[in-house]
Structure 1
Amino acid sequence: MAEYQKVEYRIGKDGKITEKVINATGSNCTQTTETIEKSLGEVSSQELLPEYYEDSENLTTSETQSLNQM
């Protein structure tokens, strides 16, 4: 059974969008957000948190990305 995943988005006053994926492991973070990132615009930077590199048995992995709106 697939795990529940949560994606949080924060939009700063400058228009910068930051996303964080909760309850995903490894590359599931980037796969979860791939479609919406294409819709939002170009990804200007990506910072993978340490949890991304941990064993896939962990319950929580987070990813933070900055997106520029087109």
Structure 2
Amino acid sequence: MAQYQKIEYRIGADGKIVETVLNGVGSSCTENTSGIEKALGKVESQKLFPEYYQDGEELINEQTQNQTEM
């Protein structure tokens, strides 16, 4: 059964995008967001919260990106 995930995007005045994934399990959070990350531009940094490494039901992943113009 597919797990519900909530993905939040915050875009700062400087153009930085912070992506936060809630309720993911294992690597599903990074797999589910890889397409949009590629479309937005280069990932500057990635912070995996402790829940990522646990077998728990809640996973939080936050990434920061700069939007690049094409």
Aligned equivalents of 2:30 and 2:6: distance in 1?
13
Corresponding position of 1:10: 10
Higher strand proportion, which one?
2
TM-score, normalised to structure 1, is 0.90
Aligned equivalents of 2:26 and 2:4: distance in 1?
15
Aligned equivalents of 2:11 and 2:34: distance in 1?
18
Matches within 5 A, 1:1-70: 1-55=1-55, 58-70=56-68
Equivalenced residue count is 68
Aligned equivalents of 1:25 and 1:12: distance in 2?
28
Q: Report sequence identity in percent.
A: 57
- Which residue identity lines up with residue 67 of structure 1 in the other structure? Q
When the two chains are superposed, the root-mean-square deviation of aligned CA atoms in Å is: 0.8
Aligned equivalents of 1:61 and 1:5: distance in 2?
9
SS in structure 2 at match of 1:9: strand
- Which residue identity lines up with residue 62 of structure 1 in the other structure? I
SS in structure 1 at match of 2:47: strand
Aligned equivalents of 2:43 and 2:31: distance in 1?
14
Give, in angstroms, the shift of residue 8 of structure 1.
0.4
